[in-house]
Chains A and B, each alone.
Chain A
Amino acid sequence: MKKRVLIWGGFIALLIIIILMMVQMVSMDSGIQEENVASENLQTEIPDILQPKPDDRKKGNSNASVVIVKYSDFQCPACRFYASFDDHLSTEMGEDVLFVYRHFPLRSFPYTRLAAQYAEAAGEQGKFWEMHDLIYINQQYWSQGGAEDVFRQFAEMLELDMDQLREDLTLPELNERIQSDYQSGVDLGVNAVPTLFINGRQVRNPNSLDAYRDLIRSYLD
């Protein structure tokens, strides 16, 4: 009997220890992400690197009290979710929030840089967000291959000037802009996408639309 208690007791204790260890590891991993809730630090200055730049792709009210800078990749599935969250929330809260999109194309995706280039080229004709939405919504489709043809179709759907688009795609400034976004992300220590900064602080990615909305509201109050 005593042996039985020892075996099962030891087993349960071992499970509890493993669980505690892993949870501890995860919370240590989160590091900076811990300070997620907008608190008294609201008034702290936003570092220059996270100030919206004139050439940033922005959506919402430029004078909003809440500025969300997102480092994102067009081919990353998680980014697709956050793109749809942003789309919802910019319609809902666009008066109070400024959404800034910055490119952080990961090397592991074959078409992500091309997608960024097409979005930027569409942006030259004032249709960055339209292209952005089409690219994300159809991500699973073009990720399978033939991405460039699909992007060209998007451009036609958006009635872009195709000659102009072709020309813009070759502009070195276009790549420089993507690269400078990427570099600013690296400088900020971004190592996963999407990474969100709200009013200059990195936040833990909310895992649902409601959680995201609540998080933004906590900065508005």
Chain B
Amino acid sequence: MSKSGRNPVKSGISGNNNTFYWVIAFFVVALIGFGDAVYLTATHYLGIMPECSVIQGCDIVAMSEYSTIGPVPVSLFGILFYAFMMTISVAWFDTRKPVLFRYLPFITVPAFLFSMWLIYVMLFIIRALCIYCLLSAATTTILMLLSFRLRLLTVG
């Protein structure tokens, strides 16, 4: 047993039962973002245009020059980001250390800003929208909001 305690209900210092559910939410949102980013990266490396039924333009956005940074697809950065966010959540489930969430906004805010830039590119430069990219922007935004909530709950 660590000092901070493993039981979410009894632990008052590093998070209570309430925190537990917030972390679950954080994890689930990151998981959705992760699946989305893996899908986009897979289409990139397998040379397939992403299919899109709701909003037109996935193929256009995903094949545009803005979809990669050098040879690396943007969605691969997404995978790393979401995987890291999930790892933080799992580390919290494991250790219950509040410090894990202390610096989270330092990652989620730049990620959010980057997402906003990509939305700008889609709307005003490429002029096509890609549903998978919008989903990713949504998950990044929610993760940012949740990261502030978690920081508040655990660090205070």
Contacts and interface: CB of A to CB of B under 8 A. Distances in A.
Contacts of A30: 46, 48
B78 to A, nearest CB: 12
Contacts of A76: 59-60
A29 interface: yes
Contacts of A127: none
Interface in A116-145: 143
Contact of B126 (A4, A7, A77): A77
Contact of B59 (A23, A33, A192): A192
Interface residues of B, number: 31
A207 interface: yes
B43 A192 contact: no
A76 to B, nearest CB: 5
A25 B39 contact: yes
Given A11-B90, A26-B39, A78-B59, A205 B46 contact: no
A22 B94 contact: no
Given A108-B128, A193-B59, A15 B34 contact: yes
A26 B56 CA distance: 18
A192 B130 CA distance: 13
Contact of A26 (B46, B57, B63, B87): B46
Interface in B36-84: 38-39, 42-44, 46-51, 56-57, 59-60, 63-65, 83
Contact of A11 (B49, B86, B126): B86
Nearest to B53: A191
B6 interface: yes
A21 B35 contact: yes
B64 A78 contact: yes
A138 B63 CA distance: 18
Contacts of B134: none
Nearest to A192: B59
B60 A29 contact: no
A210 B63 CA distance: 16
A30 B126 CA distance: 24
A81 B63 contact: yes
6 shortest interchain CB distances as A-B pairs: A78-B63, A192-B59, A22-B38, A26-B42, A77-B64, A22-B39
Given A4-B94, A22-B39, A106-B56, 6 more contacts: A8-B94, A15-B83, A26-B46, A26-B48, A29-B50, A107-B56
Interface of A: 3-4, 7-8, 11, 14-15, 18-19, 21-23, 25-27, 29-30, 33, 76-78, 81, 106-109, 143, 192-193, 204-207, 211
13 contacts: A7-B90, A7-B94, A21-B35, A22-B39, A76-B59, A77-B64, A77-B126, A78-B60, A78-B64, A108-B57, A108-B128, A192-B59, A205-B49
